[in-house]
Each structure stands twice: as C-alpha cells, then as structure tokens.
Amino acid sequence: MKIGFIFGHQQPGVKSWLREVIDLLRSWGVDVGEIYPGRGLIDLSKIRIEYDLYVLKPSDSDLALSYAGILHGLGARILNPYPVSAMLRDKVIATQKIQRAGIPVPHTVAVLKEEQVRELLDTGPLIVKPYRGHLGQGVRLIRSPDDILPLDGIHLAQRYHQPDGLDRKLYSIGGRVFGVLRKFPAHTYEEKMGTPFTVEPDLLSLVKCCGDAFGIDTFGVDVIISDGKPYVVDMSAFPGFKGVPDAATRIADYLTCYLDSVTLNPAPSCLVQPGAGT
Amino acid sequence: MKAVIFGTGRAAGGFVAPMLHAAGYEIVFVARGLGLCEHLNRTGCIEILLVDGPIRKKTLIEGVRAVEATNQDALSRELVSADLIATCVGPSNLPSLGVVIAPGLARRKVPVNLIAFENCEDAGSILRRAVAMAGGQVKSHGFASGLIHRVICRRCWYRDSDTPIRYIADPESKCEIEVVGLKAPMPTVSGMTLVVDHIAAVRRKFFTYSAAHVATAYLGHLKGYCSIHAALQDQEIKRIVKTAIKEGQQGLDFFYGAGFSGGKAERKRICKRLSNGALRDTVARVGREPLRKLGGQERLIGSASLALLANSKAKSLSWVTAAALCYFDPNDASSCQLRAFIERYGVQHVLHIVSGVKPDQEFVSRTIQHVKQLRTWSHSSHLITITPLLWASQSRPTAAIAG
C-alpha cells in the first residue's frame, strides 16, 4: 500500500499533525512518499503514477495543484481530487457552487477595485477576502470606507453577518462529522484549537450538503451563525482539522481503510475473506 | 510424515499448515468445495505473509495437496496414512466431521493423534464424541484441543489464477496443545506447548487477548474508528482496554494462581500486538457476532464473572459490555438481532438470557446504566469522548431502551 502526499514548498514540521499522520501510516506498514513539486526541476515527461493514493495538501503553491492535475489526467487516485481542490482553491467558483447547491452563504460579490467595495458598503459592513486566499490570510472586516485597503487582484466581498457566538469549524473525515467552536480571529494556541462541540442536526445536514455538492467526504467548512441562521463562509478540501480530537489518527485510519476498500476489494475472481472468528 | 488438515481457512493455512510444514510434515488439506481443492492442487503451495508494522516476511509453503471433503475414498486413504490429523473448521462445524473421519480411522492399523484447533474449551472432546457417534473407533486414538494465538486476519484467494492462496497474519507463534488427550508417540512440533489444563489456557487467551481485541472493536466503533490499530491509538480507548485486561487478569490470577495471567508485561504485549497496523484488522471484523461474543463463557462476560469472584468491580469490562450491547452494523445479522432483542426485552433480560448473568449483580446494573447513557447513539453518530460522553453529532435517539 503506497500513499503519496503532495505538498507545496514547505515540509510539515516535526510536531505538525500531518507529520503525525505520516509517521502513523509508516508505523502501520504503509509506504508513504512526500512529494514537493516546488523543489528542484520537474520534468513533466517523467511524471508517473507511483502511489495507490495521493493526498494533496492544499497550500499557496499552484505548482502542487498543477502536479495533482497532471496525476489526475494520468488517472491517479487522489483523495481530494484535482478538480475539487482546484474549485475550492478559487473562492469565486467555490462560493457560487455552494450557493447553487442551496446552501446558505452570505451575499457575495466578486470585486476588483476599492470603489466597488465602497459602493457595497452603503448597505452594511463586509468581509473582504482574496479569491485564492489561504489560512485566513488577507481576510478583512470592512465597516467604514476608512477600513478599505488597496486591492491586489480579485477579491470576494461578502455581506458581514454579526455572529451570534463563536465560529463553527465543521470537519468531515470520511463522512464522520466533527465540530469545533473557535474564536475569530484566533491568536493563542488555545484559541486556535477551539473547543469540540456536538454538531446539531441542521449543521450536520449542511455539512453533508457541502460534501455532496463537491462529491467529497473529507473536507472542512467554516460556518457562522447569525440571528440563529447558519451561513457557510468558507470550505476547504483538506484542512488542518485543528481541534478535532485525535485528528491525525482519524485521518490515518480513514486513509488506510479507504485504500483497503478500493485495493483489497476483490476483482470478480478474487475472494478476500476476512473471516468471522476472532 | 504427513499431516491431514481439515479446513483451508485462516487458522488452517495461516498457522497450522506452516507450523506442521516447518516440523517436517507433508501437508494435505481437506477442502470444502471443488474450486478451492483444484486451486490448491494446481498451485501446490500457499503463501504466508507475516506482518508487523513495516516488517513483512513472506513464506511459501510448497508441496501441499488437497482432497475434497466429499471424496470419501480419497479422504480415507489420506487418513489411513496420516501421522497427524488436525481440524480448523470452526467449533460449530466440528460435530459434522465425525462421519467424515470415522471411516478413515477404522481402517488404520496404528493410532494417530487428532488435534482440534478451535477457539473453544473442549474441541478435542467434541471431535472425539462426533467420531464415536459416527461409529468410529476412538479408544486407540488421541483426541486433543489445540489453541492458536496468532491473528490471521485475511485469506486472499484468486480463484482462476495460479497465484497461491495468501494468508496475512501477525508473527505470533504461540500454540498450546492439551496433553491429556494425546496418545504416544507425542507429536514433536516446534512452537507447540503441551498444557495439562487446556480450559485454563483457553480462558487465559479469551480473558486477556480476545477480551482486549473485542473491547478495542466495540469502543472503537463507538468512537467511529474503522480499524483496530487506529482505535487503540486513541488514548482513552487504550486506557479502558488496558484496565479491562487487568480486570480479567485479576480473575485469572485469583482462580489459577498468582502470575498465571502474565501481569503487566502481558498487557503491554497484547497492546503491542493490537497496534500492529499492517494487519489492517477492522472493527467490523472483530466486532461482528456480538451475540456470540456476549456469551456467558466468552471473552467479556466470562472475564467479568471471574473478575467479580476476585472482588474486582469489573468497571471497564462493564463499559465494554455496554459498548458491545450497543454495537450495530447493518451488515452483521447478529448485531441486528441483538438490537432487536434489546428493544423488545430490555438490556437486563438480554444479559440474563444471552450471557446468563444474574440480574441482581452490581455489574449488571452498572452495565445497564452505561447502555442508557449510550442510548442516544445511533449508527450515524459517534463519540468524541467516552468520559464525559460527548457526541460528535446529534442524531435522533434510538427507540428507548428498557433496563
């Protein structure tokens, strides 16, 4: 069993959760490869499928995404498939797709110029974020024209809804949903880890709808509740799962079981018999 | 030397055949089904893959043959010339072997030992009775029970190919044979330990390793894990599993003498074995058939009963029993039946009927309490923490479960 992780430039740190996933998988006998397309030269003619499963770690590296795209074209099995990862990387496309699936999102407009933001401000405060943003970078709350900074490229301007409480970070790992309450913006380690909570039935079905909209079962969704109504404000294909207890173990567990289900599941002539007796 | 092995399942191919082959026996399988028999004769070998984390050891057992179980003439010929007969067919299939074995034994001029490698306390006696009832000669032959400790989690058979049947297992090589039933000459097989009290050996395995195995599965299921090794990676599950083994060990040591259960070192060894991720052992495989596994002599209730005798409260075993009572897998008929029983009759009654536990015991009331706490659990939800109970998501409560 071989799993390849596609990273941007940065190697996961010794204490990072993804390093924990990789170490766990290796201790379970999985052959794990770490692929850094951003390092060194990539001979496009030499890219081959070398792993049973790939996991694309979304980052700010477009090269990693392109690399995943090439593998996708070759027929590789990618946990967070290239088309979905590419769509979710582009918040304009992702937001529109979420909206079209009937999932509540704040009123959203794609903007290029400061004047457009100023115009939208007339009807209330906004959240402005870069359309290919990552890890909350560049997200700004605009309450007055004084808050507007020069825009560098395409941004999304979303109607700001005053949250009733903390943000809801919702994660799905292989269809199993976890919720974490988190302050925004989070500064301390404790704030970043948040507090696990029991996801209510309405939020649960909202998460499932998000997954169905993109055809994935491992992802993260950011939700705010305003006036008792939930709004999806962001979605990512393979987030950090921060605050989910035992997230690394759960991801490693899911990856091996997923791969077992697709590789060990017998061809018609093969009978894999796990047997009943223990 | 020749060994005839009834069965081609995981225990037969993944442990008994390689053990006997290593001791110099030629292996003849008695297979059920012509396809399997033909495949074994065509390939002439089986493959054993022993895995322990990243370490893998592949062994090819060559020169194996097979006869079809319904081919009585061929089977009798093999039995007449066998130096050892082994069965690995599952305890429930043992009685049906009597009529198959009796004719072959009747034609033998010299005694032979028959070892029933089944996961139960009195397999050797069951086999002996089955042969006797089929009119077979049993007095001159040895009938003994054998206990395998290896976990063989998978058998892969590529039906139409020339690829040997592959058995995936852990490297555990411990095997205990009941000495009482054997006749001279005793089989000398490396790795085989002769034991006087086979029931004690079975209980030691059931109430330590097997209890830990199912405990990990049932708690893992509650917390939404797919595999055993991942579930045991969860520190909360590991703590409960370790305590459950300890409770079982208290009972064993009380009953069979101090040190019998292996103590802390054995707990550590068991957890290490269960953490072997290369086995890809799943919660669904280990957890299946909860009705059987909740039996009075079985790994959980049997262990708890002995622990209670040793004045242990068996608190962790109570949690695990509650988790077992809540286990539900729509693909497992036994768990569906268990759920239906509980909904209809209540936990207390089910524990009494299925497990034979007296309702007035504190263990029962504690278990019922835990089941009530878990009653909101449904197939679509799972726990983030067991203490305190924190659900990952809210779901509609299942039908109220009566005490």
Question: What CATH number is attached to the domain comprising A114?
Answer: 3.30.1490
Answer yes or no: do A123 and A250 share one domain.
no
Q: Give chain B's mean pLDDT.
A: 93
DSSP 8-state assignment for residue A51: S
Q: Does residue B145 have a pLDDT over 90?
A: yes
| pLDDT value for A277 | 52
**B185, B130 contact by CB (below 8 A):** no
| pLDDT value for B15 | 97
pLDDT band at A272 (very low <50, low <70, confident <90, very high): low
Q: Of A274, A248, A250, A249, whose CA–CA distance to A261 is shortest?
A: A274
CA distance A28 to chain B (A): 4
Q: What is the DSSP string of A214-269?
A: HT-SSEEEEEEEETTEEEEEEEESS---TT-TTHHHHHHHHHHHHHHHHHTSPPTT
CATH, residue A170: 3.30.470.20
Tell me which chain A residue has its CA closest to the CA of residue B90: A277
Q: Of A90, A104, A95, A88, whose CA–CA distance to A224 is shortest?
A: A104
Residue A126 lies in a domain: yes
Lookup result for tokens 């759920």: B339
Answer yes or no: do A97 and A186 share one domain.
yes
pLDDT band at B376 (very low <50, low <70, confident <90, very high): low
Answer yes or no: do A232 and A95 share one domain.
yes
Answer yes or no: do A83 and A6 share one domain.
yes
CB contact under 8 A, A29 and B153: no
| Biggest CA pair distance of chain B | 69
Of A246, A260, A272, which has the smallest distance from its Cβ to B156's Cβ?
A272
Summarize pLDDT for A107-136 with one digit per residue, the tens. 999 999 888 888 889 899 999 998 887 777
Q: Does residue B401 have a pLDDT over 80?
A: no
Residue A270 lies in a domain: no
Residue A152 lies in a domain: yes
Instruction: State the CB neighbour count (10 A cutoff) for residue A96.
Output: 15
Mean pLDDT across the stretch B318-342?
95
Which sign, positive or negative, has the C-alpha torsion B290, B291, B293, B294?
Answer: positive
Q: End-to-end alpha-carbon separation of chain A, Å?
A: 25
CA distance A262 to chain B (A): 14
Residue A273 lies in a domain: no
Beta bridge partners of B194: B177
| pLDDT value for A58 | 72
pTM of this structure: 0.91
CB contact under 8 A, B227 and A256: yes
The pairing of strands B113-117 and B142-148 is: parallel
Q: Does residue B144 have a pLDDT over 50?
A: yes
Mean pLDDT across the stretch B333-357?
93
| pLDDT value for B247 | 98
Which two tokens mark A130? 């870069």
Count of alpha carbons within 13 angstroms of residue A144, beta-carbon side: 1
Give the number of A-B residue pairs with CB atoms closer than 8 Å: 126
Answer yes or no: do A190 and A148 share one domain.
no
Q: Does residue B379 have a pLDDT over 60?
A: no
Q: Give chain A's mean pLDDT.
A: 89
Residue A277 lies in a domain: no
Answer yes or no: do A15 and A84 share one domain.
yes
- The region that residue A84 occupies, defined by phi over 0 for left and psi between -120 and 50 for alpha, beta otherwise, is alpha
Answer yes or no: do A63 and A74 share one domain.
yes
CB contact under 8 A, B392 and A27: no
Q: Does residue B28 have a pLDDT over 50?
A: yes
Domain that holds residue A66: 2-89+246-258
Residue A200 lies in a domain: yes
| pLDDT value for A278 | 61
Summarize pLDDT for A149-173 with one digit per residue, the tens. 888 889 999 999 999 999 999 999 9
Instruction: State the CB neighbour count (10 A cutoff) for residue A113.
Output: 11
Answer yes or no: do A167 and A139 share one domain.
no
Q: Which residue type occupies A277?
A: G
Q: Worst-scoring range by mean pLDDT, A54-58, A240-244, B176-180, B246-250?
A: A54-58
Q: Of A183, A186, A156, A185, whose CA–CA distance to A168 is shortest?
A: A183
Summarize pLDDT for B116-139 with one digit per residue, the tens. 999 888 999 999 999 999 998 899
**A272, B155 contact by CB (below 8 A):** yes
Phi, psi of A226, deg, nearest 5: -130, 130
Domain count, chain A: 3
DSSP 8-state assignment for residue A40: S
Optimal mutation site among A23, A26, A28, A259, interface B, most CBs of chain B within 10 A: A28
Q: End-to-end alpha-carbon separation of chain B, Å?
A: 58
| pLDDT value for B48 | 97
Q: Does residue A271 have a pLDDT over 90?
A: no
Q: Of B212, B214, B215, B216, whose CA–CA distance to B232 is shortest?
A: B216
Strands (DSSP E) found in chain A: 2-6, 31-35, 53-56, 108-111, 126-130, 140-142, 155-159, 167-173, 176-182, 195-197, 219-226, 229-236, 270-273
CB contact under 8 A, B277 and A256: yes
Residue A22 lies in a domain: yes
Answer yes or no: do A197 and A140 share one domain.
no
Q: How far apart are CA A131 and CA A86, in angstroms?
A: 12
| pLDDT value for A269 | 47
For A64, the 3-state DSSP assignment is helix
Q: Does residue B384 have a pLDDT over 90?
A: yes
Percent of chain A with pLDDT over 70: 94
Mean pLDDT across the stretch A246-252?
97
Task: Report which secondary-structure segment, H or E, holds A84.
Answer: helix A82-89
CB contact under 8 A, A270 and B159: yes
**B303, B247 contact by CB (below 8 A):** yes
Answer yes or no: do A210 and A184 share one domain.
yes
Mean pLDDT across the stretch A27-34?
95
Q: Which residue type occupies B348?
A: Q
Summarize pLDDT for B288-325 with one digit per residue, the tens. 999 999 999 999 999 999 999 999 999 999 999 999 99
CB contact under 8 A, B10 and A250: no
| pLDDT value for A15 | 75
CB contact under 8 A, B153 and A177: no
| pLDDT value for A243 | 94
pLDDT band at B380 (very low <50, low <70, confident <90, very high): low
ipTM metric: 0.89
Q: Of B180, B163, B170, B174, whose CA–CA distance to B122 is shortest?
A: B180
Q: Does residue B166 have a pLDDT over 80?
A: yes
| pLDDT value for A268 | 42
Mean pLDDT across the stretch A66-94?
94
For A70, the 3-state DSSP assignment is helix
Residues 6 or more apart whose CB falls under 8 angstroms from that of A103 comprise A206, A209, A210, A213, A232
| pLDDT value for A134 | 74
Mean pLDDT across the stretch B168-185?
93
Interface of chain A toward chain B, CB-CB under 8 angstroms: 24, 26-30, 174, 176-179, 196, 198-201, 204, 245-246, 249-250, 252-254, 256-257, 260, 264, 266, 269-278
Q: How far apart are CA B391 and CA B383, in angstroms?
A: 4
Residue A122 lies in a domain: yes
Summarize pLDDT for B77-110 with one digit per residue, the tens. 999 999 999 999 998 899 999 999 999 999 999 9
Domains, chain B, with CATH or none: 2-196 (3.40.50.720), 199-391 (1.10.1040.10)
Of B154, B234, B392, which has the smallest distance from its Cβ to A199's Cβ?
B392
Tell me which chain B residue has its CA closest to the CA of residue A178: B392
| pLDDT value for A265 | 53
Answer yes or no: do A53 and A173 share one domain.
no
Mean pLDDT across the stretch B225-247?
98
Summarize pLDDT for A188-230 with one digit per residue, the tens. 889 989 999 999 999 999 999 999 999 999 999 999 999 999 9
Answer yes or no: do A31 and A73 share one domain.
yes
CA distance B181 to chain A (A): 25
Q: Does residue A61 have a pLDDT over 80?
A: no
Phi, psi of A273, deg, nearest 5: -115, 105
pLDDT band at B399 (very low <50, low <70, confident <90, very high): very low
Helices B301-309 and B315-325 sit at what angle, rounded to 10 degrees?
Answer: 160
